[in-house]
Amino acid sequence: MNNLDNPTIFLREDYLAPNFAIDQVYLEFSLNPNKTIVKSTLHMRRLGPGSLVLKGEELELISIAVNQEDYRDFEVNSKELTVHHLPEVFDLEINCSNQPNINSSLMGLYVSNDNFFTQCEAEGFRKITYFLDQPDVLTKFTVKLNASKVDYPVLLSNGNLIEEGELNNGWHFAVWEDPFPKPSYLFALVAGKLEVLERQYITNSGSKKLLQIWVEKKDLSRTKHAMESLIHSIEWDEKRFGLELDLERFMIVAVGDFNMGAMENKGLNIFNTKYVLADQHTATDIDFANIESVVGHEYFHNWTGNRVTCRDWFQLSLKEGLTVFRDQEFSADLMGSDSGRTVKRIEDVRLLRQVQFPEDAGPMAHPIRPDSYQEINNFYTVTVYEKGAEVVRMLHTLLGETGFMKGMKLYFARHDGQAVTCDDFLACMADANQFDAKQFQYWYSQAGTPQVSIKEQYNEVAKTYTLQISQTCPPTPNQSVKAPFHIPLKTKLLVPGQASDEFLIELKETEQQVVLKNIQTKPILSINRDFSAPVILNFDQPENELLFLFDQDDNAFNRWEAIQKIASNNILNNIAPSDPLIEGYRKLMLDPTLDPAFKELCFTLPAETYLHEQLETVDPQIVHHAKVHYQNVLGVRLINEWENLYEANLIASPYSPNAVDAGKRALKNFALKMLLDSNLAKFEAIAFEQLKNCDNMTDFLAALTLLVHYESSFAAEALNLFYQRHQGNDLALDKWFAIQASKPPKQSGKIVQDIRKLKLHSDFKMRNPNRVRSVIHTFCMNNPAGFHDASGEGYEFWYDNVLELDGINPQVAARLARALDRWKKFDAPYQAIMHSQLEKLLTNPLSNDVKEVIQKALN
Ligand code: PHE
Ligand code: ZN
């Protein structure tokens, strides 16, 4: 924590294979919250010359032995243990200790609610013991856990339980053995007072598996959905990818203090409680869907991540991009209909555009396979994950399902049990399909969102239709000039009353012409269907054509895309919705054949952060008010229809989180929002009634959000009702806080002081990442009008909290630090204050994590 130090920059091109192998490790833990002793015995083999350099941080070294003899030929500092003059083959025994109780970074071994947990990805294992803590060192682990039996009745680690028993003084032990060699980042242990939900599972090939979900006793009744999600995940991976569970036992453990969503430790996934616990009274439809997708994601890592892992952390997208693609497909398949698939696709694309496009245009822009980093924790990004998944999806589009699966088959045949690179993955896709991936690889090496410009020309006489397509990619840090990408564009020419086929344009050149013959009348272009490529499309399509696509395109994604384009144009140019547009909306509302979830997505206006990206310079208050105004016009002009939609989508049957009912609730609650938006006094009572009478969190939370955000006279009472009902339930209280932190400023003006007050609430906990995110991150990243207050008080709040958090949990602080990423894009007065807060922050001692983000922002 010293800014005078020059930060180390790690480069992809500096990769060196390890000079030692660890064939086996035997770990013995004496678990004590104040001081845990770890005895590690490594069976090692020399692979190359030199000393052995083991990583280790925040450890106290007790002793070292080589081949059972005390050993002194070593040096140790705060980061490394270097052991000299080692033989070809030997046993290295290391005794050290760490302090779980004071570990607030939630990396390594830590205590949460009196139980022990570990988090090792990416570099947490080195806070447990000295090790070759890098993903290309694969080792067979045997783990013995010793702990007090009353305090820690449950003792878990990876693999299979091979022994357990009693010790002296009320202690007991358990020995776990993982048959699969794995990198240290996949190690896990859990010890504490936990209860379990169990199921049996028989795989396709007939072997019996034990599935377990471990939680605190009070939470056991809320684990059913996670278990069903796990079973669906196992079935889906067998069916769609032909991949079976390879362990006798698969465990999920939930923990309330966790930096991320969940972690795919071999056979012992550790989850943020947010992605495990659900029942209708405390979780929303979105929570249910997220749990299914995260449970799937972690399970799918067992093959894409664990059986085949990453050679180094620059290859992170090898496992993450591929696994996100797999979880997206899993969720899409489980939607159970084509329109459900489209809904899922739209949600994924919205996230990409709202969060990844800004990242790719800002100071932290990096290729999905980065070339350098100062702190690897900063590279668990939407680029590595979501854009990484888009790149895999483009391969799927180019090769087709059959070709893609051939590539996957070859990937496992070649690399099962290995630590490999993105190039190795791409080579499998190419070799299995005779696909030339030379140009496609730029998606891995170049950052930035490509811009594709389209000009069309129809020749009446020759009956030809010509597309002039060009691509550029803006400069990004350390990459000023880009080579053209290989861009797959699913395309169709629509002519009213005529059938036509979809085709694939493979854009490879900077400029490319596509000429289509025998086109009898001027067609309407439907391009980048299903968002087949993650690009920004510049194509001036007139509103009447967009309305035609909105109404008629047989690609439902592009129907949504057309209406979003119209809405963006109108909001950014302050144009009121035209009469034909209002008619288009009305028709959509009344169409009985359309999925309510799809309708809701069509009505939902583009996010403010997405609108910001389309402007040269941003006045966030102007954008906010333009959007609010536009929405209000839609509310007022269609008021009767909104009332009807609200009524028509009430559900009489008991609550179920299935996609159809969830879609109805989403549409109904959107209608409610439009009603309150157009006339609060008239409709707020409906919202309050809904809140009091509903049987589920989705409807309750939707009504509460509206009452609070619209400053209804019922707001205080409604908030109080929620609080009384859910006191003591952390996940529910997170929602209670988040609603208040995301409230846009209304008549009341600034809301920064309200957010500061929220932090003083007795349930606010600066050490709990979920709670911190629900207040601080929500305000700074999810409340643009509140945060970007012209006074700059939002930015001051940001400064105070980044600094405070950095002393507790650098990863969580660094995420927050990124709220000012796009400061250069804002109008001068905003920009100036953001800039001064960024500079001021850098005058403090900072973690590597935060320092990297701030330095890059200022560059
Ligand atoms: N590997 C985890 C996932 O994608 C994410 C994670 C990274 C969790 C680092 C914890 C720490 O599923
Ligand atoms: Zn993952």
Reported as a single tens digit per residue, the pLDDT across 605-632 is 999 999 999 999 999 999 999 999 999 9
Report the separation in Å between the CA atom of 592 and the middle of ligand 2, taken as the mean of its atom positions: 39
Note the pLDDT of residue 817.
98
This model's pTM is above 0.90 = yes
Per-residue pLDDT at 4 exceeds 60:
no
Please write the tens of the pLDDT for every residue from 835-847.
999 999 999 999 9
Q: Is the dihedral of CA 29, 30, 31, 35 positive or negative?
A: negative
Q: How confident is the model at residue 497 (pLDDT cuts 50, 70, 90)?
A: confident
Average pLDDT estimate for 500-519: 97
Q: Write phi, then psi, for 199 (nearest 5 degrees).
A: -140, 155
472 in helix, strand or coil?
Answer: strand
Per-residue pLDDT at 196 exceeds 50:
yes
Q: Does any domain span residue 463?
A: yes
Residue holding tokens 């990459």?
479
Ligand with an atom nearest the CA of residue 327: 2
For residues 184 and 312, state if they share a domain. Answer: no
Q: Does any domain span residue 418?
A: yes
Report the separation in Å between the CA atom of 297 and the middle of ligand 2, taken as the mean of its atom positions: 6
Q: Which domain holds residue 67?
A: 10-193
Ligand with an atom nearest the CA of residue 259: 1
Interhelix angle for 338-351 vs 556-572, to 10°? Answer: 40
Q: 402: exposed, middle or buried (C-beta count within 10 Å: 0-12, 13-18, 19+)?
A: exposed
Q: Which of 130, 163, 193 finishes a domain?
A: 193
Report the separation in Å between the CA atom of 375 and the middle of ligand 2, taken as the mean of its atom positions: 18
Chain CA centroid to CA 660, Å: 24
Per-residue pLDDT at 2 exceeds 50:
no
> Following DSSP, what letter does each residue of 695-747 receive, concatenated?
SSHHHHHHHHHHHHHTT-TTHHHHHHHHHHHHTT-HHHHHHHHHHHHTPPP-T
Per-residue pLDDT at 494 exceeds 60:
yes
Domain count, the chain: 2
Q: Are 118 and 106 in contact, with CB atoms under 8 Å apart? A: no
CATH number of the domain to which 152 belongs: 2.60.40.1730
Average pLDDT estimate for 795-823: 98
Interhelix angle for 793-806 vs 752-760, to 10°? Answer: 30
Q: Does any domain span residue 799?
A: no
Question: What is the bridge-based pairing of β-strands 140-148 and 20-30?
Answer: parallel
518 in helix, strand or coil?
Answer: coil
> What are the residue ranges of helices labelled H in 710-847?
715-726, 730-741, 752-760, 769-772, 778-782, 784-787, 793-806, 810-817, 828-841
Q: Write phi, then psi, for 664 (nearest 5 degrees).
A: -60, -45
Q: Whose CA is nearest to atom 7 of ligand 1?
A: 121
Per-residue pLDDT at 750 exceeds 90:
no
Q: Whose CA is nearest to atom 6 of ligand 1?
A: 263
Distance CA 682, CA 668 (A): 17
Q: Are 314 and 370 in contact, with CB atoms under 8 Å apart? A: yes
For residues 480 and 352, state if they share a domain. Answer: yes
Average pLDDT estimate for 282-297: 98
Ligand with an atom nearest the CA of residue 376: 1
Q: How confident is the model at residue 710 (pLDDT cuts 50, 70, 90)?
A: very high
Ligand with an atom nearest the CA of residue 106: 1
Distance CA 771, CA 774 (A): 5
Q: Which residues line ligand 1 (CB under 6 A)?
A: 119, 121, 259-260, 262-264, 297-298, 320, 380
Q: Whose CA is nearest to atom 12 of ligand 1?
A: 263
Distance CA 204, CA 245 (A): 10
Q: Whose CA is nearest to atom 2 of ligand 1?
A: 263
- What are the distances in angstroms from CA 800 to CA 776, 790, 803, 823? 11, 18, 5, 18
Distance CA 645, CA 665 (A): 11
Q: Which residues contact 547 (CB under 8 A, 6 or more apart)?
A: 562, 566, 580, 581, 584
CATH number of the domain to which 314 belongs: 1.10.390.10
Report the separation in Å between the CA atom of 322 and the middle of ligand 2, taken as the mean of its atom positions: 9
Nearest atom, ligand 1, residue 323 CA? 4
Note the pLDDT of residue 3.
45
Nearest atom, ligand 1, residue 377 CA? 9
Report the separation in Å between the CA atom of 179 and the middle of ligand 1, taken as the mean of its atom positions: 22
Distance CA 393, CA 410 (A): 18
Average pLDDT estimate for 464-485: 98
For residues 319 and 178, state if they share a domain. Answer: no
- What are the distances in angstroms from CA 572 to CA 279, 445, 627, 848? 40, 33, 8, 38
Cα angle, residue 408 at apex, residues 403 and 409 outer, rounded to 5° = 95
Report the separation in Å between the CA atom of 774 and the middle of ligand 2, taken as the mean of its atom positions: 22
Is 177 noted as a catalytic residue in this protein? no
Distance CA 278, CA 294 (A): 13
Q: How confident is the model at residue 342 (pLDDT cuts 50, 70, 90)?
A: very high
Distance CA 821, CA 858 (A): 9
User: 435: which 2 tokens?
Assistant: 């696909």
- What are the distances in angstroms from CA 823 to CA 373, 397, 830? 22, 36, 8
**Which among 838, 826, 827 has a CA at the least distance from the CA of 795?**
838
Cis peptide before 122, with omega less than 30 degrees from 0? yes
Q: Which of 519, 536, 553 finishes a domain?
A: 536
Q: Are 746 and 710 in contact, with CB atoms under 8 Å apart? A: yes
Per-residue pLDDT at 310 exceeds 60:
yes
Q: Which of 506, 536, 566 finishes a domain?
A: 536
Q: Whose CA is nearest to atom 9 of ligand 1?
A: 121
Ligand with an atom nearest the CA of residue 275: 1
Nearest atom, ligand 1, residue 298 CA? 12
Report the separation in Å between the CA atom of 792 and the middle of ligand 2, taken as the mean of its atom positions: 36
Residue holding tokens 């005078």?
4
Choosing from 125, 260, 275, 320 the residue with most ligand 1 atoms within 8 A of its CB, the one to mutate for a pocket test is 260
Helix (H) or strand (E) holding 189: strand 189-192
Report the separation in Å between the CA atom of 6 and the middle of ligand 1, taken as the mean of its atom positions: 28
Residue 168, strand partner residues:
none
Residue holding tokens 């009447």?
544
For residues 312 and 175, state if they share a domain. Answer: no
Note the pLDDT of residue 5.
59
Report the separation in Å between the CA atom of 271 and the middle of ligand 1, taken as the mean of its atom positions: 10
Which residue type sits at 176?
W
Please write the tens of the pLDDT for every residue from 108-117.
999 999 999 9
- What are the distances in angstroms from CA 316 to CA 125, 152, 349, 422, 479? 17, 34, 21, 9, 20
Q: Are 415 and 432 in contact, with CB atoms under 8 Å apart? A: no
Ligand with an atom nearest the CA of residue 811: 1
- Catalytic entry in 216, 298, 386, 684: 298
Interhelix angle for 556-572 vs 620-637, to 10°? Answer: 120
Q: Does any domain span residue 25?
A: yes
- What are the distances in angstroms from CA 451 to CA 279, 286, 359? 44, 32, 15
Note the pLDDT of residue 799.
98
Q: Which residues contact 216 (CB under 8 A, 6 or more apart)?
A: 113, 193, 194, 195, 254
Distance CA 225, CA 230 (A): 9
Q: Whose CA is nearest to atom 1 of ligand 1?
A: 263
Q: Whose CA is nearest to atom 11 of ligand 1?
A: 121
Q: Is the dihedral of CA 345, 351, 353, 357 positive or negative?
A: negative
Q: Does any domain span residue 106?
A: yes
Nearest atom, ligand 1, residue 122 CA? 9
For residues 27 and 160, state if they share a domain. Answer: yes
Q: Whose CA is nearest to atom 3 of ligand 1?
A: 263
Ligand with an atom nearest the CA of residue 322: 2
- What are the distances in angstroms from CA 322 to CA 181, 317, 368, 388, 487? 21, 7, 12, 7, 18
Q: Does any domain span residue 503?
A: yes
Report the separation in Å between the CA atom of 261 and the middle of ligand 1, taken as the mean of its atom positions: 7
Distance CA 54, CA 68 (A): 19
Nearest atom, ligand 1, residue 259 CA? 10
Cα angle, residue 602 at apex, residues 599 and 603 outer, rounded to 5° = 90
Nearest atom, ligand 1, residue 297 CA? 12
Residue holding tokens 């006074």?
791
Distance CA 677, CA 632 (A): 6
Q: How confident is the model at residue 335 (pLDDT cuts 50, 70, 90)?
A: very high
Average pLDDT estimate for 175-199: 99
Q: Whose CA is nearest to atom 5 of ligand 1?
A: 263
Note the pLDDT of residue 685.
98
Please write the tens of the pLDDT for every residue from 78-123.
999 999 999 999 999 999 999 999 999 999 999 999 999 999 999 9
Please write the tens of the pLDDT for every residue from 643-692.
999 999 999 999 999 999 999 999 999 999 999 999 999 999 999 999 99
Nearest atom, ligand 1, residue 258 CA? 10
Choosing from 263, 316, 811 the residue with most ligand 1 atoms within 8 A of its CB, the one to mutate for a pocket test is 263
Choosing from 127, 264, 299, 323 the residue with most ligand 1 atoms within 8 A of its CB, the one to mutate for a pocket test is 264
Interhelix angle for 285-300 vs 697-709, to 10°? Answer: 120
Other C-beta atoms closer than 10 Å to the C-beta of 548 total 18
Query: Is ipTM strictly over 0.95?
Result: yes
Note the pLDDT of residue 6.
72
Report the separation in Å between the CA atom of 456 and the middle of ligand 1, taken as the mean of its atom positions: 45
Report the separation in Å between the CA atom of 249 and the middle of ligand 2, taken as the mean of its atom positions: 20
711: left (phi over 0), alpha (psi -120 to 50) or beta: left
Q: Does any domain span residue 637?
A: no
Q: Does any domain span residue 853?
A: no
